[in-house]
Structure 1
Amino acid sequence: MKLMKDQKIMLVDGMALLFRAYYATAQSGYIRRTKSGIPTNAIYGFVRYLWDAVQLYNPTHIACCWDVSSKTFRTEEFAAYKGNRSAAPDDLIPQFDLILEVTESMGIPNLSAPGYEADDCIGTISRELEADMEVLILTGDHDLLQLVDERTSVIIMKKGYGNYKVYTPESLMEEKELTPSQIIDMKALMGDASDNYPGVKGIGEKTATKLVKEYGTIAGILENLDQLTPSIRKKIENDLEMLHLSHRLAAIHREVPVVCSLDASLLLLEDEIILTKFEELEIKSLCSMLGVGVF
């Protein structure tokens, strides 16, 4: 189906929003709960974050992508991948299933693919749809900057509601002096402490960026090892296997088994369904923000 060029889809990194929403209130010591004790602070904050972005960027379609398990093709390649992350807080765990019910009540499809991360789903969907419509990616994860192109923008959430940085190829080059694909090369060299893979030991972001800017790609760097300082050359040669592994871990896969239906992702709120779910979770105060139940 060929769409009008003024249509655009917002692909939401679900876990990024949910965790951000949880910690935004949990750090103050206050956890919003229903009368029966069910925690809802992450759900409440998620809807606020999401709708703020919807109102600001006006997508015609929206879909949420989720991580469904800790075991992926990346953990098969590198068992320690994300192995440094602590378990989710007890008050957040019951909100994982509830948030899916909330997004469904809003008519937003929840998408995932076993063995892959939400990033891979977002990458696959953006590639499939960007020829026919503008794609907006809402996240707090800078890994997704590798997906930026002329039809896909990455919206990075900053601290607080309504605070964003929008990355296009131009703004990415202006800020980081790198192309989207070079984000992968940089991360392969420097590693990622959050995802728990090391890259090349002894090479940090500054050196990694300098090397990628000068030689273009990992392949370009390896072809010019004799041009590097003895120290940098030795570090790369000693960690060559990990460099290639880190590159595979950093790269978002864009051919995963996930489908985003444009009919299902059309942004169309059904008042009665939303009111029922929001009343159940005692977050009805959010309905006015959504324009639901207001006549």
Structure 2
Amino acid sequence: MLLDTASLYYRAYFGVPDSVRAPDGTPVNAVRGLLDFIGRLVQDHHPDDLVACMDADWRPAWRVELIPTYKAHRVAAETPAGQADEEETPDTLAPQVPVIEAVLDAVGIARVGVAPYEADDVIGTLTGLARGPVDIVTGDRDLYQLVDDERRVRVLYPLKGVGTLQVTDEAVLREKYGVDGRGYVDLALLRGDPSDGLPGVPGIGEKTAKKLLDAYGDLAGIMAAVDDPAAKLTPSQRKRLDEARDYVAVAPKVVRVAGDVPLPAFDPTLPREARDPAVLAELAERWGLRGALQRLLSALHS
């Protein structure tokens, strides 16, 4: 089981009231929500291995070089000139991230992030290396591209809280989007994604992208059709795709998750008991997390 950790703690932050606070009054709603989420996942799915994948670089320069608008709208306005871009984060969420990291380490849940890559890239690399079935837990549809029935790779997408997950396999993708996992990259880059600053091809929305992929198979087939006078593209489609050649040439590398991240050595085995009980007890006391940690440890023991 691979966790898109930032995606999940963002959901926890907005899903759990900020009245959930540590004894000193500091909000810990994202921490509490994430711990309960992980406990529920372990309880319901019983993974042998679990990795919390992290964004060591949330906006890699190599992606920005190809598409300068990539996540540009998320850059914090106060990021000093000459420094790496900082992500715009709610004031009461940013201080919770180090707490999340410390708690995961004390519990013994593997936490992996590698610069200059995003968590998605770590997930893509680990998925490629996996010898058994993989469940990817994320609220980010970008990772649908990794769904693969033959390799038993699914995405568990939270629909409501932690109890309602959409188990996304190829049948679900075909029903919702008309593509399989491999085709999802082409669909995504054609329609664009405002949340990631991907412009897409102007005038090509999701429905048109589906029709084009149905007709021509993949992005390469679509672009070949642009150069084929006999292809049954409308004049506006042909013009828009032709004008978007520069974007289409680089977008696949930006949208597709990397599969070759140089991973550090780590143990993905799901712990059955806390790695560092003394540190965990201190964290539980300081941040008011005893109940959430008891629930998580109970799930790990079961």
TM over 0.5: yes
- Can you list the C-alpha shifts for 1:183-214, whole angstroms capped at 9, x where unaligned? 00011211111100101111111111111122
Contact 1:63 1:108 in 2 (8 A): yes
1:105 aligned partner, one-letter code: A
2:182 aligned partner, one-letter code: S
- Can you list the C-alpha shifts for 1:155-181, whole angstroms capped at 9, x where unaligned? 111122201011122332233221111
- What TM-score do you get using the length of structure 2 for normalisation? 0.86
- 5+ long unaligned stretches in structure 2: 77-87
Contact 1:125 1:259 in 2 (8 A): no
1:138 has 2:137 as partner: yes
Residues in 1 aligned to 2:297 and 2:108: alpha-carbon distance in whole angstroms: 15
Contact 2:56 2:113 in 1 (8 A): yes
SS at match of 1:227: coil
- What TM-score do you get using the length of structure 1 for normalisation? 0.88
Residues in 2 aligned to 1:148 and 1:88: alpha-carbon distance in whole angstroms: 29
1:127 has 2:128 as partner: yes
Contact 2:30 2:96 in 1 (8 A): yes
- Can you list the C-alpha shifts for 1:49-98, whole angstroms capped at 9, x where unaligned? 12112211110111101112344121232222101126101101111111
1:253 to 258, 265, 282: 258
1:285 aligned partner, one-letter code: G
Residues in 2 aligned to 1:291 and 1:23: alpha-carbon distance in whole angstroms: 24
Residues in 2 aligned to 1:174 and 1:71: alpha-carbon distance in whole angstroms: 31
Partner of 2:85: none
Q: Provide the aligned C-alpha RMSD in A.
A: 2.0
Partner of 1:287: 293
For CA contacts below 8 A with separation 6 or more, give which structure has more relative contact order. 2
- Can you list the C-alpha shifts for 1:98-150, whole angstroms capped at 9, x where unaligned? 10011112211110110111000000011101x2x211110001110100113
2:117 aligned partner, one-letter code: Y
Map 1:127-166 → 2, pairs under 5 A: 127-129=128-130, 131=131, 133-149=132-148, 150=150, 151-166=152-167
| Range 183-192 or range 239-248, more displaced | 239-248
| Seq. identity, % | 34
1:241 aligned partner, one-letter code: D
Contact 1:212 1:218 in 2 (8 A): yes
Partner of 1:117: 118
Partner of 1:5: none
Map 1:232-247 → 2, pairs under 5 A: 232-247=237-252
1:78 has 2:78 as partner: no
1:287 aligned partner, one-letter code: L
- 5+ long unaligned stretches in structure 1: 1-9
1:18 aligned partner, one-letter code: Y
Partner of 1:265: 269
SS at match of 2:167: strand
Partner of 1:4: none
1:23 has 2:14 as partner: yes
Q: How many residues align?
A: 279
